[in-house]
Structure 1
Amino acid sequence: MTPRVTATVDLAAIRHNLRVVRQTAPRSKVMAAVKADAYGHGAVAVARALEAEQVDGLAVACMEEALKLREAHLLHTPIALLEGVISIEEAALAVYERLQVVVHDHWQIALLEQLPDSAEVQVWFKLDSGMHRLGFPLSDVPRLVATLQRHPGWKLQGWLTHLSCADELDSPVTAQQIAVYRAALEGVPGPRSIANSAGLLAWPDARVDWVRPGLMLYGASPLPGKTGRELGLVPALTLESRLIAIREFAAGEPIGYGQTWRTPERMPIGVVAVGYADGVHRCLPSGTPLMVGGRRVPLVGRVSMDMVTVDLRPAPQAAVGDPVLLWGDGLPAEEVASYAGTLAYELFCGLTQRVRFRYRNG
């Protein structure tokens, strides 16, 4: 059966991007973010590719994501739960599955304290240096050190924080966050972790004991005005559909729902078998680029559930059945995302189960 929409993930690109991380932060260990199904790329396949490159750790958001990796026999690489545990059952399971628990609040400490004294709990403490989302106040560091002293069975993995404005290169916020985080931990033992992808690329002071790349592993840029290629990264995901119809219309004819776009002259309109039920944002406006036969063509009219329409004047040789590139090499996801007023993260994570995934260079 011929798929309507195909996402091709190049695992060699992901391995290359991990090498770029290591070249950028050669003295840091790497905790690779594979949460949200590896940013929509497929967590199991991506984690296996990263494990083959001996990545130091993997990061997921929650227990369900960690268990998916364990069930796929990813048993050797440490896995951290970035949101920690939310019940005593999850706390016990984290110990059983040898998961690292990121603890961000005192109620989570209370959960872990319900475990037997013999339980070997691997903990990261998350500190709030200015993101103001999750994390202990920096003033709680002495209290957290005392907690560790009360529980000799707990194994400290380190202290992490998260940057709120690392992609804003002119903002003073990141330098302030790094400074207050370092001051709070002065003289306190344990590894440090600060940098996400933007922090890793743009802020050398954030490259400490551990870095936590996400988006850059998938070949997209976390920095405004830059593409992944410009940063030495290789885009890992190519999204393609195909032309299922080509129709000729006279000047002044409306195209699609709401008749929001009209043909300026007699011209061919192509219909592509992809829509918002596949994860293509409905808010993408007319003018958003796609590629047919290596030529850029603009989307025209509204994105519908199963189809989009394109202006085929730039690709006069196009024929029914031709592949259509939504994003990938030659059409960066960062660029497409900008037309929707969003980021490549959201494009990747928005792909639905209707998209057929295939993997290369596994």
Structure 2
Amino acid sequence: MAIPRVTATVDLSAIRHNLGRVRALAPQSKVMAAIKADGYGHGAVPVARTLAEAGVDAFAVACLEEAVTLRDAGIGTRIALLEGVLSREEALEAAALGLEIVIHDRWQLELLAGLAFETPLAVWFKLDSGMHRLGFPLAEAGALLKAALAQPQWRLQGWITHLACADDLDSPMTAAQIDAFKATMAYLPGARSIANSAGLIAWPQARVDWVRPGLMLYGASPLPGRTAADLDLKPAMQVASRLIAVHEIAAGETVGYGATYRCPETMRVGVVAVGYADGVHRILPTGAPVLIHGVRVPMIGRVSMDMITVDLRALPQAAVGDPVILWGDGLPAEEVATWAGTLAYELFCGLTNRVHYRYL
């Protein structure tokens, strides 16, 4: 029986705990859980089942394919397509699956208005309050309401906007976006949704009818300088490999591609069976930590496709077969991401199909 080289262990009880934190912060709001990108790399179907059992109100995915995966798995919870539909065929399939379509552009509005549906079509309108990525200008909200009311088959679910700088507590942009959106919505019917994870945690005024948590559900902090522990979030994922070789390398010898690391003394070097083909960022530099027996040891040299090398001078008892944690308990993904100049989102979503998943 093959032994997995790299295992991502996902603790579903942590996801339930983190949903509890969402509800504690926004007790009056409904929760639309973001499980796009395969549940932020955690596995959309097991995550969705866990959240559905916990009574989440709806799911948010990016595209039709992600929603089909959930429906095929028997998940009947409400699902919103954040990027809407891309064609007539997608629109008809989305309606048949009972999906809720977010309309963000006039071409989508015209596409849907030209179709007949056998059952009422649930729609949301995306409004651009300042991020300038997707959405109608706020000034068009009244016209959008009229367009929706002119379609007897449509059922308007509400209005969505997205925050550009919610993770920057010193930026005036978030308050300006919230104020502009709320002013526009003051006299219009329909539910409102503003807050992503950072908005939900840091901006109480963004906790309106619906909140849309993503990263915080998976136990990572969306706020720079604040850890998951600070926010009472439990990391759901641990990624681990193992030592497959331990060598003693003489002083002055180099390690790895490009000979970028030179041993300052005779030292023990470990080889770990994980690389960029598994999702470990090649840009991670010498010094980036991994955990062995609870001790942080630094990576040395370049990350290669299937292996990394680590400095074992601080851990003389390390031996072939020992587990090596890339991120997880004791080594937050947010910290590892900082070494790679990226975000925990990208670490989670970057795991490849070589990684074996295990669910607790």
| 2:296 aligned residue | 296
| 1:227 aligned residue | 227
| 2:131 aligned residue | 131
Residue correspondence of structure 1 range 77-116 to structure 2 within 5 A? 77-116=77-116
Residue correspondence of structure 1 range 174-323 to structure 2 within 5 A? 174-323=174-323
- Unaligned runs of 5+ residues in structure 2 are none
Q: Quick check: 1:70 aligned with 2:57?
A: no
CA distance in 2, matches of 1:118, 1:313: 68
The alignment-based identity, stated in percent, is: 66
1:114 positional shift? 2.1
Q: Quick check: 1:140 aligned with 2:140?
A: yes
* AA partner of residue 347 (structure 2): L
CA distance in 1, matches of 2:116, 2:81: 20
List per-residue Cα deviations over 1:168-211 (Å, max 9, x = no partner): 00000000000111111121011000000000000000000000
| 1:7 aligned residue | 8
* AA partner of residue 111 (structure 2): L
List per-residue Cα deviations over 1:277-317 (Å, max 9, x = no partner): 00000000000000111110000000000000000011111
Look up the SS of the partner of 1:230 in the other structure. coil
1:251 positional shift? 1.1
| 2:336 aligned residue | 336
| 1:23 aligned residue | 24
Contact 1:117 1:151 in 2 (8 A): no
| 2:37 aligned residue | 36
The range that moved more, 114-123 or 201-210, is 114-123
* AA partner of residue 68 (structure 2): L
- Unaligned runs of 5+ residues in structure 1 are none
Where do 4+ consecutive residues of structure 1 move more than 6 Å?
A: none
CA distance in 2, matches of 1:93, 1:240: 39
| 1:354 aligned residue | 354
1:20 positional shift? 0.4
1:119 positional shift? 4.0
* AA partner of residue 17 (structure 2): H
CA distance in 1, matches of 2:124, 2:354: 37
Q: What is the CA RMSD across the aligned residues, in angstroms? A: 0.8
Contact 2:92 2:117 in 1 (8 A): no
List per-residue Cα deviations over 1:72-120 (Å, max 9, x = no partner): 0002x10000000011111111110000000001110111112216541
Contact 2:279 2:347 in 1 (8 A): yes
CA distance in 1, matches of 2:36, 2:71: 14
Look up the SS of the partner of 1:231 in the other structure. coil
In the superposition, the TM-score normalised over structure 1's length comes to 0.98
* AA partner of residue 41 (structure 2): G
* AA partner of residue 337 (structure 2): A
With over 3 angstroms needed to count, the CA separation of the structure-2 counterparts of 1:305 and 1:117, relative to structure 1, is: closer
CA distance in 1, matches of 2:101, 2:301: 47
* AA partner of residue 129 (structure 2): S
Residue correspondence of structure 1 range 164-183 to structure 2 within 5 A? 164-183=164-183
